[in-house]
Structure 1
Amino acid sequence: MTTNTVSQGQSSNQTTQTPSALDNFRPLIVDVAVPLGAYYLFKDAFGMSTFAALAWSSVVPAARTVWSLVKERRANALAGLILAVNVVSLLLSFLSGDPRLMLAKDGAVSSTVGIGILVSVALGRPMMTAGMKPFLVKGNPAKEAAWQRLASGRAAASADFLRKERVFSVVWGVALLAECVARVVGAYTIPVDTMVWLGGVMMIGVMALTFVISGGLAAGPMEEMVRAEAEAHEAAARAEVTVAA
C-alpha cells in the first residue's frame, strides 16, 4: 500500500510540474515559426511587397517583446531576435542599385542573429537553448525533470551542463558571424553571377558544419548528461520507495 501511494504521488507531482512536448516547442512555434510563416504568407499568398510583409510579420514578435518587458520584467530573447532581424531587413530593403551591395546585405541578417546569440550568452541566457531543448528531452517527463535539475544547478553535473549550454550558443553565434564575413568578402571579390548561387551554398554548408560541431561539442554531451541524470534520479526514487515499504 505504501509503495502504491508513493508512486502515485510522484506520478501526479511529475505530471503537474513537467511541461509537455508542446510546451517545449512553444517558444519555437510562437517566436520563430509564426513570424516567418506570416512573412511568406503575406508576401506570396497575399502578394504584399517585401517591406509590407516584413512589417506585418513583425507584429507578433514586437508584441511578445513588449509583453515580456512589461509583464515578466525580462526580455524575450527569441522574439526580440526575430524583431531585430525584421527591422534590419526593413532598413536594408531601401538599398538598391549596386548588385554587389545587394548580395552583401544578406550577410547583415546573419550578423544580426549571430550578435544576438553571443549577447544572450554574455547575459547568461543562451538563446539557442530554446531550439535545442525539445530535441534533447523529446517530450519525456523524466528527461524534462532531469533538464530542470541540471539547469538549476541542483545536479552534480550542473556546472558542466551549463558550460556546454553556453558553448552550443557560442558555436552558432560565431558560425553566423563568420558566414556574414565570408558573404561580404565574396560579394566584392567573386563575380556577381557566381556569388548569386554561391551565397546559398555557403549558408547550407555553414549550417551543416555548425550542426555537426555544436552537436559534438555540446548537444551530444548534454543529451547524455540528461539521460544519466534521469536514470540516477529514477534509481534513487526506487530506492526510497523500497526503504519506505
Structure 2
Amino acid sequence: MTKNTGNQSRKPSVLDNFKPLLIDVALPLGSYYLFKDAFGMSTFAALAWSSVVPAARTVGGLVRERRTNALAGLILFVNVVSLLLSFVSGDPRLMLAKDSGVSSTVAIGILVSVRLGKPMMTAGMKPFVVKGDAAREAAWQRLVSGAAAHSAAFRSKERAFSVVWGVALLAECVVRVVGAYTVPVDTMVWLGSVILIATMVIGFVVSGGLAAGPMERMLAAEVEAGRAERPEVAVAA
C-alpha cells in the first residue's frame, strides 16, 4: 500500500503559479492607480511609491540568487522611464505621446527577452496552461528542458507568444504617437484607452490561437505520454 509522504507530493495551487505575476506586475501596477486615484498623489509620487516593490525584488534577486528578476526589473525600468517622462510638460500633444513610452519600453523588454532565450510573457501565460496541475507542471518542465519529443515546437510557440505581445505593444505605441499629433486632443484623450483595449484583445486572440492553444495541446499530449511511460503512477493516482 502506498502512503502519502506529505508535502513532497503537494500539488501546486493556482496561487503558487500566479504569485510571481501578482507580486512583480499586478502589485506595482495596482498600487500606482491606488496611490494616484484613491490617495490623490501626483503622477510622480505614485510612480515613485509603486516602484518600491519591484526595486526590492530586483535588488533581492541580485543579492540572494545573483541573478536579475526579469519581471520586477522590467516594471522598475518602466517606472523609471515614466518618472523621467513626467518632467516633460507644456505641450498637450507631447503629454499624450509620452504615454506610449510605457508600451514601447515594455515591448522592447519583451522582444529582448525572446532574443536572450527567456521569453518574458511566459510568466503570465503559464498558469493558464498548467492550471495548477502537478502532472501538467512536470510535462511543462520536460518540454522546456528538451527532454520531450515535441520540445522544439513547444519552445518555438513559447517564443511566439512573447513576440506577438511585443509586436502588439510596439504597434500600439506607434498608433498612439501618430494619433497624438493628428487627432484632436480632446478625442485622443479617450481614444488612447480604446486603442490600448483593442491592442489587448488582439493580443489575447492572436497569441492564444498562434501559441497558447497549440502549447496546451502539446502539454496534454505530453501528460498522456508520461502516464503511458509510467503506468504505475497512473494506477496510484
Q: Which residue of 1 aligns with 2:163?
A: 170
Q: 2-side partners of 1:107 and 1:224: how far apart?
A: 35
Q: Which residue of 1 aligns with 2:129?
A: 136
Q: Which residue of 2 aligns with 1:113?
A: 106
Contact 1:151 1:161 in 2 (8 A): yes
Larger Rg: 1
Q: 2-side partners of 1:234 and 1:111: how far apart?
A: 44
Identity %: 74
Which residue type is aligned with residue 84 of structure 1?
Answer: F
1:216 to 206, 209, 218: 209
Query: Relative to structure 1, is the Cα distance of residues 132 and 241 closer, same or farther in structure 2, using a 3 angstrom cutoff?
Result: closer
CA displacement at 1:63 relative to structure 2:
0.9
What pairs up with 1:3-152 in 2 under 5 angstroms?
4-5=1-2, 8=3, 15=9, 19-152=12-145
Query: Relative to structure 1, is the Cα distance of residues 196 and 241 closer, same or farther in structure 2, using a 3 angstrom cutoff?
Result: closer
Q: 2-side partners of 1:39 and 1:238: how far apart?
A: 50
Q: 2-side partners of 1:203 and 1:115: how far apart?
A: 17
Partner SS, residue 113 of structure 1: helix
Contact 1:167 1:218 in 2 (8 A): yes
What pairs up with 1:161-240 in 2 under 5 angstroms?
161-238=154-231
Q: Deviations over 1:156-201 (max 9, x none)?
A: 1111111110010011001101110111011111221221221111
Matched pairs, number: 235
Q: 1-side partners of 2:44 and 2:226: how far apart?
A: 52
Which residue type is aligned with residue 15 of structure 1?
Answer: S
Contact 1:14 1:141 in 2 (8 A): no
| Bigger mean CA offset, 53-62 vs 229-238 | 229-238
Query: Relative to structure 1, is the Cα distance of residues 101 and 36 closer, same or farther in structure 2, using a 3 angstrom cutoff?
Result: same
Partner SS, residue 94 of structure 1: coil
Higher relative contact order (CA 8 A, sep 6+): 1
Which ranges of structure 1 fall in alignment gaps of 5 or more residues? none
Which ranges of structure 2 fall in alignment gaps of 5 or more residues? none
Query: Relative to structure 1, is the Cα distance of residues 133 and 51 closer, same or farther in structure 2, using a 3 angstrom cutoff?
Result: same
Contact 1:20 1:141 in 2 (8 A): no
Q: TM-score, normalised by structure 2?
A: 0.92
CA RMSD of aligned residues (A): 1.9
Contact 1:126 1:166 in 2 (8 A): yes
Partner SS, residue 47 of structure 1: coil
Q: TM-score, normalised by structure 1?
A: 0.90
Q: 2-side partners of 1:186 and 1:143: how far apart?
A: 44
